[in-house]
């Protein structure tokens, strides 16, 4: 089971992770120029830079083992993949009620775009996260975690 680990000490807040996340989830897959020049309804980044003064780090969905978003979802669109254990939003069933946004302790679920009433979140880009690939400092790394690793804040509830 691989997850994104955050290395606060290496992050310089360049926001390339956000840029590549947007491009990876847009209609011009991974093409930065087309995504930012042509797609006026391009997706929201599923990873955000948390920043105050000298502190910054990138934060995507933790795929919590006890996920508040899944429990709170009104339609049942927020589910856990039985194989990968990833938290996944089935967009066909999502109605954009934003209850997951109210529930997520990490603020890691976003409104998809300006005109799309769908909740969007990190899907680890199908096991090859664009944010990690393009981070110049290895401030986010994609690595194996154990079932019992302390990984999210919700795992003992």
Partner 1 sequence: MTHVIIGNSAAAVGAVEGIRQLDKESPVILITEEPHHTYSRPLISYLLSGKVTAEKMNYRPEDFYVKNHITTMFGRKAAAVDINAKAVILEDGGRVTYGTLLIATGSKPVALKLPGIDSESIFPFYTMKDAFALKQFIRDGMKAVVLGAGLTALKAAEALTTSGVETTLVVRSRILRNFLDPGATEKLSLHLSENGLHLAIGSEPVGITGENNGLSVRLTDGRILACDFVVSAVGIEPNKELIEGVQIATEHGILVDQALRTNVPGIYAAGDVAQGLDLLTGCQRVIPLLPVAYAQGEAAGRNMAGGNAVYAGMNMNAISFFGLPLISAGVIHEEPADEVYLQKSQTEKMYRKLVIRQNRVVGYVLVEQIDRAGLLTWLIREKVNITGFKATLIDGSFNHACLPPKLRREKIAL
Closest approach of Cβ 56 to partner 1, in Å? Answer: 6
Q: Where on the chain is the footprint of partner 1 (CB under 8 A)?
A: 5-8, 48, 50-53, 55-57, 59, 62, 68, 71-72, 74-76, 92-93, 95-107, 109-111, 117, 149-153
Calculate the alpha carbon distances from 60 to 5, 34, 107, 142 in Å. 9, 24, 9, 12
Q: Which of 153, 147, 149, 148 is nearest to 104 (CA)?
A: 153
> Where do we find the tokens 């606060």?
8
Considering the complex, state which of residue 108 and residue 125 has its C-beta at the smaller distance from partner 1.
108
Euclidean distance between the first and the last CA atom of the chain, given in angstroms as a whole number: 21
CB of 33 to partner 1, least distance (A): 27
User: In the beta sheet, which residues pair with residue 6?
Assistant: 140
Q: Name which of 9 and 33 has its Cβ closer to partner 1.
A: 9
Closest CB 30 distance from partner 1, rounded Å: 25
CA distance linking residue 29 with residue 27, whole number of Å: 5
CB of 154 to partner 1, least distance (A): 9
- Nearer to partner 1 by Cβ, of 32 and 101: the residue is 101
Question: Which is nearer to partner 1, 33 or 53 (by Cβ)?
Answer: 53
| Longest pairwise C-alpha distance within the chain | 45
């Amino acid at each position: 089971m691989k997850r994104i680990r955050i290395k606060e000490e290496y992050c310089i807040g360049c926001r390339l992770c956000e840029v590549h996340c947007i491009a990876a989830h847009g209609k011009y897959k991974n093409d930065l120029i087309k995504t930012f020049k042509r797609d006026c309804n391009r997706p929201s980044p599923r990873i955000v830079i948390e920043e105050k003064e000298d502190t910054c780090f990138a934060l995507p969905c933790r795929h919590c083992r006890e996920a508040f978003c899944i429990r709170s979802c009104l339609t049942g669109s927020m589910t856990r993949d039985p194989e990968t254990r990833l938290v996944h939003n089935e967009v066909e069933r999502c109605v954009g009620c934003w209850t997951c946004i109210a529930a997520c302790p990490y603020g890691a679920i976003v409104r998809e775009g300006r005109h799309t009433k769908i909740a969007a979140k990190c899907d680890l880009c199908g096991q090859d996260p664009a944010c990690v690939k393009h981070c110049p400092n290895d401030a986010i790394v994609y690595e194996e975690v154990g079932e019992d690793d302390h990984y999210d804040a919700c795992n003992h509830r």
